[in-house]
Amino acid sequence: MNAVIAAVGIMLILSLSRVHVVIALIVGALVGGLTGGLGIDATLKAFNSGLGGGATVALSYALLGAFAVAIAKSGLAHALADKALAMVDRQHASGGGQVKWLLIGLLWVVAIASQNILPIHIAFIPLLVPPLLYVLTKLQLDRRLIACVMTFGLITPYMFLPVGFGNIFLNEILLANVARSGVDISGINVTHAMGIPALGMVAGLLIALVSYRKKRVYDLAKIEQVEQVAVQYNPLSLMVAGVAIAAAFIIQLLLDSMIIGALAGFLIFSVSGIVKWRDTDDLFTEGMKMMAMIGFIMIAASGFAEVMKATGEVQTLVESSASYIDHSKGIGALLMLLVGLLVTMGIGSSFSTVPILAAIFVPLCVQLGFSPLAIVCIVGTAGALGDAGSPASDSTLGPTSGLNIDGQHHHIWDTVVPTFLHYNLPLLVFGWVAAMVL
């Protein structure tokens, strides 16, 4: 059996069986390494060498967690809850429907903006979502819907709009690797190439709005304890919270460092007196514990990906799939998309997947007679497939980090499975259609 299939399969089975994702990643990496012929020593060496790749993001999230606790300490969560619930009280007939859609729309817009207008990616989630979580809980909004909304905003812009992270993915990675493999890309409109697959993401979002439209009850006591909604607030504390959040965003943009941005925001709270100096150690520890799971998953995922690359069987998987195509464009497009889905779910990054896939897929597409526009679409969609629905992707880990601070949102069953069903399946269908008509 191919090592990638074995590793990803074991990792997914264990994750769906509610084995902790970190354990599932470690066991999957060991199975993949041994299946790929690395041996136990080489597998562990590859895994250990890859751990550092996730350390920066893990530390960033630990600091963002401390910053999020400081925001809660300011009383911002309580202020938002009071304001939103007052609006709900004025809407007895609609049951707070306008507030519900206002919050969903806010998270949708911010998630999209985090990829281009303010390219901060997932850094906004630990800062924005926890203060809103009490309101979402009072409104009995299904957090699976919120996870789908944010994941849509984290993925669709970069795979369709050549701005911000989209410029990196579409122009610097996708088009560059297709051209490097021998296809003339002059005159190709990459937005046109990825337009139909992007519609698949839109279709998935619309389906999610229906799937999770019903109310879901969460334990308010748990979120009240975590978010300290009983904390008294005043205009000064709210102003400091606003300044700290703005400073964190601006510094992160200027220095391209979530670590320094979060640290600056936390220091503003400390200097202002909203967070007492004697309490900073406890708040820091509390915040890091809150984000510890996400950080360790990111670190383990980097080790897992390094083992997959070390086996050399990612390329073998891609090459072996070609033997089943038999000169059929329809079968060829489907198999290439399925391989992309499997590889990205294991590696957890569509940005890292495209260069691996393009080297084999592009010559195969040329041989099958696909147009340059269709080739760009196939490689781009194959790379994007699996970003949603991967336990190791920051597009799923990010939403979980904000929605699970009170322990009521399961990473696999409340983020990974919903985003896989609502985005990967439509993207697979729309991507295949696009490959056949472009």
Alpha carbons 52 and 205: distance in angstroms, whole number: 34
**Percent of the chain at pLDDT above 70?**
91
Q: Could you read off the pLDDT of 345-382 as tens digits, one per residue? A: 877 778 778 887 887 788 888 888 899 999 999 999 99
Q: Could you read off the pLDDT of 245-274 as tens digits, one per residue? A: 888 878 877 887 777 888 888 888 888 877
Q: Could you read off the pLDDT of 120-144 as tens digits, one per residue? A: 777 778 777 887 888 888 888 999 9
Q: Taking each helix axis from N to C terminus, what angle separates 55-73 and 235-255, rounded to the nearest 10 degrees?
A: 160
Chain centroid offset of residue 321 CA: 28
Q: Taking each helix axis from N to C terminus, what angle separates 394-403 and 143-160, rounded to the nearest 10 degrees?
A: 150
pLDDT category at 77 given cuts 50, 70, 90 is low
DSSP symbol at 124: G
pLDDT at 423 over 80: yes
Report which of residues 179 and 392 the model is more confident about: 179
Question: Considering its fold, how many domains does the chain have in total?
Answer: 1
pLDDT at 432 over 70: yes
281: containing domain: 3-437
> Stretch 52-79: mean pLDDT, rounded?
73
Mean pLDDT rounded to a whole number for the chain: 84
| 386: its two tokens | 């699996």
**How many helices and strands (H and E) does the chain possess?**
22, 0
- The torsion of the CA quartet 305, 310, 316, 318, rounded to 10 degrees, works out to 30
Q: What is the pLDDT of residue 177?
A: 87
Q: Are 283 and 34 in contact (CB under 8 A)?
A: no
| 132: its two tokens | 């809103």
pTM of the model: 0.81
Of the candidates 57, 67, 63, the one whose C-alpha atom is nearest the C-alpha of residue 244 is: 67
Alpha carbons 412 and 403: distance in angstroms, whole number: 13
Q: Are 135 and 87 in contact (CB under 8 A)?
A: no
pLDDT at 229 over 70: no
pLDDT at 85 over 70: no
Alpha carbons 218 and 137: distance in angstroms, whole number: 6
Residue found under tokens 């080790």: 303
